[in-house]
Chain A
């Protein structure tokens, strides 16, 4: 019984941690499948977290916050698209520029506007956040833990964005593999010349893909600020954008394996936070810093390719120059 409760709570935590990773990884999926490296996930998420928290704090509306988050993230995506697609700049440099700029801009504007040392105000109003939805009879179900607790913790009790992220995975797979847009998107990431020859705009497709990435990163960042916590704090993404990118690579740029990788990262994170301060047999208490570093170490191990080779979209990172 004890174990059952622990497992259910671990899985519930996994779902919560996985949500921004899944959203960001799917964002990266669209961008990278079109041939644009998406290292800017981190910056776009952070920008969205700041914008959504600021607007929610000022207007009192979580939905306006979401709109602002998506808007900010799309604006950043557009900067990257202009630099990488139109001006054929280095995609990694463009993304790092956005990441660094946002890392400074968020706290700088927060300090100037709210004067709280680089944070946004704590969101306490009823409509300022995306609350956890409680499904019918969830409270009653807890009285019969098997399977009631699973129902109450796993199916019920998450914010709207969590369900959105869950629905997005099959949706992304459908768009990518079953629609004309998806076919063209995959083609432009593998062989832009062929797409161009067929009379389809390479730049147009890549702009669309980066904007989709902007929208999804916007939702991910909003989740961090308005659902997982209550406001913006400095560096609150803490590398989640890079972890999502690693999950995308580990998932070989496919929706379902990517979801699996995100869940693996999230589960590790959930287990690690549970181990905090617990004395394990043989090793004793694990230092908290090791626990914090675990997702990053896991990323390095996964990327080291000890789990099979990942083949990137062939044209990734290569700006496309139309012959004149």
Chain B
């Protein structure tokens, strides 16, 4: 039965996700219609807002960088058979680490402050993932629920810290003071200008390079090391892993620590790269976008980078659209996100059988 439904590899990684994505976007169009706007006009505005100008492209890639981090975080956990919904909280707490380094940086040279900021973001993010991971590995608590709870707890903790401790004195809004200038991630347009390529200013910064490096690192770790192999075995079949001498509890802990560290790097892009201070609720749901990105990218780093760019465009286009169509705002992107998770994740079998049958028939008629 399953043999008949097997899709060729190329179709599994291109045709099927494309089909699922198309359906999700078509349904989003229906939602736009229900909201009383023309889907076609919305699409045109969105594309123009996302890639129409140089600074729009900069913003798109800036958001995409966030989603690469959170998407990789979800994917690493997924390969170990864990569904980490705590990316949002891990990114938030990771931002605390980034922020503390940024605030302490003062006159530190950039080559100290920037790596230390990245390190602190990763460590804080990993630490926030550690408790749910430990509870899952040792006490069998459902990691989905504990990570969701840790999102809420992170939100309360960070609000407390920002309102009572880290707030800049004599200021109303809960924000820290600005980071030392050496703890800023260099913006891409400055780096490009140095090699003679003019590019419009945008928050697009060197953290994107870190995101690409993280993608390569995750790929090498998962598919080119023994530990990565063990991780994938645990994800596929924990019982077989035990027979092979792999300790699933240790893999669970390791996978979640790596996942949290990746999510924690979001602060490097958002805070060191753009805001240059710590502020309330800066992840803005990027942790949840990571779920959609990972599912759409089939949990492969290359797919995740592509899916992240698409969602970056949706985010940037979605915020531009509200200027022209006041009845639409970024909430629409959250709807699209949900639909993508539904069709690329939960309903991935919807088109698999018809597609496999169709391809098989094509091949038969082509061969005869």
CA distance A112 to B321 in the complex (A): 14
From residue B337, how far is it (CB to closest CB) to chain A in Å?
A: 6
CA distance A312 to B70 in the complex (A): 30
Contacting pair A87 B347 (CB below 8 A):
yes
A90 contact from B152, B292, B346, B350, Cβ within 8 A: B346
Contact with B along A57-96 (1 / 0, CB 8 A): 0000000000000000000000110111001111111101
With A92-B83, A100-B288, A101-B335 known to touch, is A83 a contact of B346 (CB < 8 Å)? yes
Contact with A along B326-368 (1 / 0, CB 8 A): 0111011111111101100111111000000000000000000
Contacting pair B142 A249 (CB below 8 A):
yes
| Chain A, 244-266, CB within 8 A of any chain B CB | 245-246, 249
Contacting pair A109 B349 (CB below 8 A):
no
What residues of B have a CB within 8 angstroms of the CB of A111 in the complex? 327-329, 331
Interface of B is mostly: helix
From residue A77, how far is it (CB to closest CB) to chain B in Å?
A: 13
What residues of A have a CB within 8 angstroms of the CB of B157 in the complex? 289, 293
Contact with A along B130-160 (1 / 0, CB 8 A): 0110010001111011101110110011011
Interface segment among B29-37, B54-62, B251-259: the answer is: B29-37
With A101-B338, A287-B164 known to touch, is A305 a contact of B328 (CB < 8 Å)? no
CA distance A102 to B150 in the complex (A): 21
With A89-B349, A108-B328, A111-B327 known to touch, is A296 a contact of B153 (CB < 8 Å)? yes
Contacting pair B337 A100 (CB below 8 A):
yes
CA distance A239 to B147 in the complex (A): 12
From residue B82, how far is it (CB to closest CB) to chain A in Å?
A: 10
CA distance A305 to B138 in the complex (A): 10
Q: Is B234 among interface residues, defined by CB-CB distance under 8 A?
A: no
What residues of B have a CB within 8 angstroms of the CB of A104 in the complex? 331-338
Q: Is B295 among interface residues, defined by CB-CB distance under 8 A?
A: yes
Chain B's closest residue to A299 (CB) is B149
Q: Is A297 among interface residues, defined by CB-CB distance under 8 A?
A: yes
Chain A's closest residue to B325 (CB) is A112
Contacting pair B334 A246 (CB below 8 A):
no
A88 contact from B35, B85, B334, B349, Cβ within 8 A: B349
CA distance A92 to B142 in the complex (A): 11
Contacting pair B331 A98 (CB below 8 A):
no
Interface size bucket, A side? 35 or more
What residues of A have a CB within 8 angstroms of the CB of B164 in the complex? 287
From residue A237, how far is it (CB to closest CB) to chain B in Å?
A: 12
Contacting pair B145 A89 (CB below 8 A):
no
What residues of A have a CB within 8 angstroms of the CB of B332 in the complex? 104, 108
What residues of A have a CB within 8 angstroms of the CB of B83 in the complex? 92-93, 96
Q: Is A105 among interface residues, defined by CB-CB distance under 8 A?
A: yes
What residues of A have a CB within 8 angstroms of the CB of B163 in the complex? 289
CA distance A201 to B34 in the complex (A): 37
B139 contact from A91, A105, A299, A305, Cβ within 8 A: A305
Q: Is A107 among interface residues, defined by CB-CB distance under 8 A?
A: yes
What residues of B have a CB within 8 angstroms of the CB of A179 in the complex? none
What residues of A have a CB within 8 angstroms of the CB of B152 in the complex? 239, 293, 296
CA distance A304 to B146 in the complex (A): 9
Chain A's closest residue to B336 (CB) is A104
Q: Is B1 among interface residues, defined by CB-CB distance under 8 A?
A: yes
Contacting pair A97 B331 (CB below 8 A):
no
What residues of A have a CB within 8 angstroms of the CB of B50 in the complex? none
- Seed contacts A287-B164, A289-B163, A304-B141; 18 additional CB < 8 Å A-B pairs: A39-B145, A87-B350, A92-B144, A97-B346, A98-B338, A100-B288, A101-B339, A105-B334, A111-B331, A112-B328, A118-B331, A239-B152, A242-B149, A245-B145, A249-B142, A290-B160, A297-B153, A324-B1
Q: List 12 A-B contacts (CB under 8 A).
A: A89-B348, A92-B144, A96-B341, A98-B338, A100-B334, A101-B342, A108-B328, A245-B145, A246-B145, A296-B153, A300-B132, A304-B141
7 closest pairs, A vs B, by CB?
A: A101-B338, A104-B334, A94-B346, A293-B156, A112-B35, A97-B342, A89-B346
